[in-house]
Amino acid sequence: MLTAITRSVSPAMNGCELAYLPRVEIDIPKAAEQHRRYEACLRELGVSVISLAAEPEMPDAIFVEDPAVVVDEVAVMTRMGAASRRKESESLATALSQFRPIRWMKEPATLEGGDVLRAGRTLFVGLSPRTNRAGIAQLAAELEPLGYAIRPVEVHGCLHLKSACTSLGDRTMLANRAWCDTAAFDGFQILDVPADEPCGANVLTIGDTALVPACFPGTARMVERLGWKIRTLDISELMKAEAALTCSSIIFR
């Protein structure tokens, strides 16, 4: 059975980190309702959701994907590139310790889970404003002895690797080629997002269903043509904090 760890929206979300978007007022109750619908959708798809309490003094804590990389054997707690977010890790590590042994990254590494895209036993890791080569090296030191391959990918023009691409299974990547070096995905089919939906590459797949933000209908149609069942979600208020669908949960067996 799949388990997802999520965290409720912080009342301080308007103080979130922003890298690429101008700051716009977030309607906190609306954002919280959109997040609850996201969690409800996961449950409807058969996922057991563990929803952690909001962190009132941590504006970005809803984005639980970034402080950890979880594989079958261990959970690696990252050292996030946004220094203001590093205190999010403690309570998340406590939750994950019920399921996996915990490993911790150390200075000078920086790495955020939004930069880690898993395809089977290969983890593609974005070299981005939030993840450096030392972070990739420490992740490799933890996971390569367990049989994982770590492949760096250059990221430019967006926050994380998974802002630029996500996996659609069957060695297919949904991608915005302008934001990452797709040469790293040798042997994969690249499905290009519509030109008018440059942020559409981040989708979340569960079983035979793909979750797509409601504001990317062209992307949804493309993914549906590959045989995926489509669920669309309105995350418009969360997107003001540079949210995407994968970043608000850690999903594992």
Catalytic positions, written as ranges: 160, 247
Phi, psi of 196 (to 5 degrees): -90, 5
Closest CA to 113 of 95, 96, 135: 135
Strand 3-7 and strand 250-252: pairing?
A: antiparallel
Give the dihedral of Cα atoms 12, 63, 128, 142; nearest 10 deg: 130
* Nearest-angstrom CA–CA distance, 203 and 232: 10
Is 243 strand, coil or helix?
A: coil
* Nearest-angstrom CA–CA distance, 216 and 233: 10
* Nearest-angstrom CA–CA distance, 8 and 32: 7
- Cβ atoms of residues 203 and 245 within 8 Å: yes
* Nearest-angstrom CA–CA distance, 187 and 171: 7
Six token digits for residue 186 = 């040798």
Closest CA to 17 of 157, 113, 159: 159
The answer for 29, left when phi > 0, alpha when psi is -120 to 50, beta otherwise, is alpha
* Nearest-angstrom CA–CA distance, 139 and 135: 6
